[in-house]
Structure 1
Amino acid sequence: MSIKVHQLSKNYGAQKAVNNISFEINKGEIVGFLGPNGAGKSTTMKMITGYLVADEGTILVDGIDVAKDVVAAKSKIGYLPEANPLYADMYVREYLHFVAGVHQLKNIKQQTEKMIATVGLTNEAHKKMSQLSKGYKQRVGIAAALIHEPEVVILDEPTSGLDPNQIIEIRNVIKALSVNKTVLFSSHILQEVEAICDRVIIINKGSIVADDQLQHLQKNIQPTQVVQVQFEELVELTMLQTIPQVLHVEMVNPHIFKIETAAADAVRKQLLQLAVTNNLNIVALQTDTNSLEDTFRAVTK
């Protein structure tokens, strides 16, 4: 695996920011790291990257113990912190040359141009950082994190403050990374996590409350679904309550009903049969699947 965290803890005085957490992330995975504000996400990321020292536990990055050889571990990591630190008076290409030099790369010019193309900065590379929009500043931060070809990429709120078009562009960059890298990223935009990740880790009050493949997590945490049906005619609520495997029926109005069930397919078939038997016309029939937001609220409330 590329990241292995074992029994990790961090205290700030009397406050336990991270409480004995453990997880592993393998090469090729894009894992979403979620949690409410103050849950311990950024603290955990800073410990993995070696910017904070853990009070307890071990962190291995590509087999290197961060506590024993932090310089070697950092050489394997590309990190974009939540507060993207840039030098406002430097030009984009100049800044990336500087970062490449810090990493002691031999092919500085070649690697800089490669990263500029990778994150879509070609038309902005001649500008000063202060002249860039928030979206392009984020691209510069990602380029700086990737310029030394790290094995592990850690992104803290990479799409924060971006418009929808910029979010999609950054999403595509992150997706492309998973081919040969390990990606751990946090975001408050849960739709982004659903679009990019197969697996999520949710932390709450310093402890991990969920760690699973997204589809399994949504099914296990929120096993029920909602079937919404709309009839042309007026329908009595009691008629729908008699359908087998219906847990709850909510009447939106006498034509539209929301049905909670653990067997959505069976209920849909029963609704169609009910309509035929009672000479009713179904105008609309759909199943609302549980979103990551539903799952997040369930495990952190």
Structure 2
Amino acid sequence: MAIKVDQLTKTYGKQLALDNVSFETQKNSIVGFLGPNGAGKSTTMKILAGLIPASAGTCHISDSNIAEQSLAAKRKLGFLPENNPLYTDMYVREILQYEASTHRIKNKSERIDLVVKQTGLEDAQHKKISELSKGYRQRVGLALCIIHDPEVLLLDEPTSGLDPNQILEIRALIKELGKEKTVLLSTHLMQEVEALCDEVIILHQGKIRDHFFVNDLPNKYPNQSLEEIFVRLTK
């Protein structure tokens, strides 16, 4: 078990954003987290990341309870939000040093060198973030996510707004990361799920509509594309 969510509920005033959501993911897998806008995907990720509290229910990251063992859980995860907030006046290597210091990483320079290589930032590491394309900024965001070598990554629409070449580059990076980490990947792109994911969770109106392994798709939904399944479950 890498991520475990049990009867998770979130309300904003009278609005019910998440309604008794429960799921569990396998280790070292890429999980597509799908749903229309407003389904509750970002809310779920923010709760898993410890940024906002749940109204009810529990969440675990590798056996650490988010609410009760917040620091332990956060050490095990990296979170890339949809808007990828970065200090654009900082240099790439500078922001990685800052993040590494925050996590109290030993042998910072060696770890930064490894992450820079892993995320393909060698040519950009001495540039200001403000000078980078959106594709390279996403690489910086992913580098910040993995600098402390977490077990779980939460990626909220990491390829949104990228051009086709940038999308392919980021997908390749995510696929490589998924070999050693569990990745919860929020996306609207069905072809992205088909290219990357081992599991799929479909959320609609704050409820889980289905959770299945991609390999089971032909038997569970014969002669239906993932797009057709998504429309059927979220209409």
Residue 164 (structure 1) shift: 1.1
Q: Look up the match of 1:155.
A: 155
| Aligned positions of 1:193-208 closer than 5 A | 193-208=193-208
Structure 1 CA distance for aligned equivalents of residues 198 and 103 of structure 2: 31
Q: Counting strand residues as a fraction of each chain, which structure ranks higher?
A: 1
Residue 291 (1) aligns with residue 222 (2): no
Q: Look up the match of 1:95.
A: 95
**Partner letter of residue 157 of structure 1?**
E
Higher Cα radius of gyration:
1
Aligned 8 A contact 1:198 1:213 in 2: yes
| Residues 136-155 of structure 1 deviation map (CA, whole Å, 9 limit, x = unaligned) | 00000000000000011110
| Residues 87-124 of structure 1 deviation map (CA, whole Å, 9 limit, x = unaligned) | 01000010111011111101111111111111111111
SS of the equivalent of 1:18 reads strand
Residue 218 (structure 1) shift: 5.4
SS of the equivalent of 1:17 reads strand
| Residues 10-29 of structure 1 deviation map (CA, whole Å, 9 limit, x = unaligned) | 00111110000111112111
SS of the equivalent of 2:125 reads coil
SS of the equivalent of 2:9 reads strand
Alignment RMSD (CA, Å): 1.1
Structure 1 CA distance for aligned equivalents of residues 112 and 189 of structure 2: 30
| Aligned positions of 1:90-169 closer than 5 A | 90-169=90-169
Aligned 8 A contact 1:218 1:292 in 2: no
Identity %: 54
Structure 2 CA distance for aligned equivalents of residues 5 and 46 of structure 1: 13
Residue 195 (structure 1) shift: 0.3
| Aligned positions of 1:33-52 closer than 5 A | 33-52=33-52
**Any unmatched runs of 5+ in structure 1?**
226-289
Aligned 8 A contact 1:53 1:67 in 2: yes
Aligned 8 A contact 1:217 1:295 in 2: no
Q: With a CA cutoff of 8 Å and minimum separation of 6, indicate the structure with the bigger relative contact order.
A: 2
Which deviates the most, 84-93 or 210-219? Answer: 210-219
Structure 1 CA distance for aligned equivalents of residues 106 and 28 of structure 2: 27
Q: TM-score, normalized by length of structure 2?
A: 0.97
Q: TM-score, normalized by length of structure 1?
A: 0.76
Residue 169 (structure 1) shift: 1.1
Structure 2 CA distance for aligned equivalents of residues 299 and 220 of structure 1: 13
Runs of at least 4 residues of structure 1 off by over 2 A?
214-221
Q: Look up the match of 2:170.
A: 170
